[in-house]
Amino acid sequence: MDFDFSFFLLMATVVTGVIWGGYLLLLKYTHKEPTPENEPLIVEYARSFFPIVLIVLVLRSFLVEPFRIPSGSMMPTLLIGDFILVNKFTYGVRLPVINTKVIDMNQPERGDVVVFRYPKEPTVDYIKRIIGLPGDKIAYYNKNLYVNGSPVQRVSLGMYHGVGQGQSMTGAEHFQEDLQGVEHSILIHNGAPSVEGVYVVPNGHFFVMGDNRDNSNDSRYWGTVPEDNLVGKAFFIWMSWDWQNKGIGFDRIGTLLK
């Protein structure tokens, strides 16, 4: 069990619910009518906050959860300062805190941009793109990606010009990659060192990589992501804020991720 925000949100819901519900039961068995004048301060707070924390818990645990992008590992798809929404139910409904799946739904697909709990430190959330599915053989050599022996096709879009906190990636080569039918942008920094190798994805796991291929701490370094670690699928940019690049990026708000 992880003592993260979800845990404290659940505890707040339980505590405020117990205080408010217990007070109502006490009044029922003592045959008293609830009146604002006689209501203890702690009960007043519990009555006020319980509906709020309950709604937040349900939305965050089962529907959507907001995240902020803190690094450039998914450039140019996601920029530092992007605020995204993550679909929490597309891969199945899980109970909060214990993360046990109770309703199975869609399976993750190649090309999905996913948020997951970092396998080496589950309290930390990462965001990457699914490259390999269970049973796949993934290879990465000379900055070229291969899936089950077939090279992943890509087309150069020229030199990338970074903005704001992503200016350090200016000069990288911008490609349009076709990941077996899923087209998306990637960056390759030809002068940067690159890890290489062949990886076989175990059952129940996924091989993930960042779109900023030479600036991403991903499955090439620490292995695959267990299905149980998946938080959800990123699908929407609802806000973008980079104080080094004109503040609010209005042109990015409302962007659907692919």
Reported as a single tens digit per residue, the pLDDT across 199-242 is 999 999 999 999 999 999 999 999 999 999 999 999 999 999 99
237's enclosing H/E stretch is strand 230-242
Domain extents in the chain: 5-63, 69-248
For residues 184 and 90, the answer to whether their CB atoms sit within 8 Å is: no
pLDDT at res. 73: 97
Reported as a single tens digit per residue, the pLDDT across 44-62 is 899 899 989 888 888 888 8
Poorest-pLDDT segment among 94-103, 146-155, 189-198: 94-103
Say how far apart CA 91 and CA 89 lie, in whole Å. 6
User: pLDDT band at 258, cuts 50/70/90?
Assistant: confident
Residues 6+ apart with CB under 8 A from 177: 145, 152, 153, 154, 183, 184, 185, 186
pLDDT at res. 2: 57
Say how far apart CA 124 and CA 244 lie, in whole Å. 26
Half-sphere exposure of 51 (CA within 13 A, CB side): 3
Say how far apart CA 149 and CA 4 lie, in whole Å. 41
Neighbours of 219 (CB within 10 A): 24
Q: Work out the mean pLDDT of the chain and round it to a whole number.
A: 92
Mean pLDDT within 169-192: 95
Is residue 95 pLDDT above 90, yes or no?
no
| Tokens matching residue 247 | 């503040």
Say how far apart CA 83 and CA 180 lie, in whole Å. 28
Of all residues in the chain, the percent with pLDDT exceeding 90 is: 67
Mean pLDDT within 174-194: 94
Reported as a single tens digit per residue, the pLDDT across 25-42 is 888 888 787 777 778 889
**Which of 31, 10, 34 is CA-nearest to residue 21?**
34
Is residue 3 pLDDT above 60, yes or no?
no
Is residue 1 pLDDT above 80, yes or no?
no
Catalytic machinery residues: 73, 128
Q: Which residue has the tokens 């080496």?
A: 120
pTM for this entry: 0.86
Just give the CATH number of 69-248: 2.10.109.10
